[in-house]
Amino acid sequence: MDPLSSMKSCKVLLVEDEADVRELMHLHLKRDGLQCVAVEDGEKALEILRQESFDLLVLDWMLPGVSGLEICKWAHAQKNGTPILMVTARADTPDIVRGLDAGADDYVTKPFDVPVFLARVRALIRRRTAATRAATLPVPSFSRLKVGELSLNSETYQVHCRNVEVLLTPSEFKLLLALMENQGRVLSREKLIDCIQGEGVSVVDRAVDTHVFGLRKKLGDCSDFIETIRGVGYRVKMDESPHAQS
């Protein structure tokens, strides 16, 4: 199926309080073939989300009433797989980490280039579509991966460290899955960008570093399994114990 034709059935909820920015984003999303509902405050967004489902949420952080960060946390807690793109003027690294930790799958800072914004949107929708298709396929034999006391189940989307469940964002889960599937191999930042956001999207290396930072923080005692290979990328250490994969 032509990916552009499949976009026409996709619905986006856009939450942005600045009228000029909202109208610009709304216009370009519609031109890109997407159905778009645009609102200006967080409370109205939550009201809509309780009644309708969407293929993508585009959230500003600073909103009247309920903040975009709170909407992000609420939407992520629903565990329905809806990808979240935050578009905000909060560009400091700690803010980016907070946004990703809250459940955002990607983070765009203002001011932004419209083509880059649309590329990020398309990448997230492609991943959503691919995940929906994958849900109808048989579960692969290597659905469960284990490295020491760190385990990952790609069927249930669960990660455990020392038998304690670790809650990850979809992007963090996908990054960890790629690393554990390639245990012992070094994956470049470019390869990890493809794993997280899809091919053909121009993303700076810092995006991967930020995801890894958040992932390590959540893994706690199991974070030592992720090694940084300076100037290249990251890898998960080889597990010398038997039955690392089942």
Environment class of 120 (CB within 10 Å of its CB; exposed 0-12, middle 13-18, buried 19+): buried
Higher per-residue pLDDT: 130 or 34:
34
User: Options 3.40.1190.20, 3.40.50.2300, 3.30.750.24, 3.10.105.10; which CATH number does 3-134 get?
Assistant: 3.40.50.2300
CATH class, 144-236 region: mainly alpha
DSSP at 145 = E
pLDDT at 209 over 60: yes
pLDDT at 208: 81
Model confidence at 194, pLDDT cuts 50, 70, 90, reads confident
The sign one gets for the Cα dihedral 100, 103, 109, 114 is positive
Domain with CATH 3.40.50.2300 in the chain: 3-134
Model confidence at 199, pLDDT cuts 50, 70, 90, reads very low
pLDDT at 8 over 70: no
Are the C-beta atoms of residues 195 and 175 closer than 8 Å to each other?
yes
Domain with CATH 1.10.10.10 in the chain: 144-236
pLDDT at 238 over 90: no
Phi-psi region of 15 (alpha: psi -120 to 50; beta: other; left: phi over 0): beta
Query: Taking the complete model, does pTM exceed 0.85, yes or no?
Result: no
Q: What would the pLDDT profile of 125-149 be if each residue is shown by its tens digit? A: 887 776 665 444 444 445 789 988 9
Are the C-beta atoms of residues 219 and 150 closer than 8 Å to each other?
yes
pLDDT at 226: 92
pLDDT at 218: 93
Q: Which amino acid is at 230?
A: R
pLDDT at 152 over 90: yes
pLDDT at 130: 66
CA atoms within 13 A on the CB side of 94: 0
Full 3-state SS string of 88-116: ECCCCHHHHHHHHHCCCCEEEECCCCHHH
Is the peptide bond prior to 138 cis by the omega test (within 30 degrees of 0)? Answer: no
pLDDT at 142: 54
Q: What would the pLDDT profile of 51-87 be if each residue is shown by its tens digit? A: 999 999 999 999 998 999 999 999 988 888 899 999 9
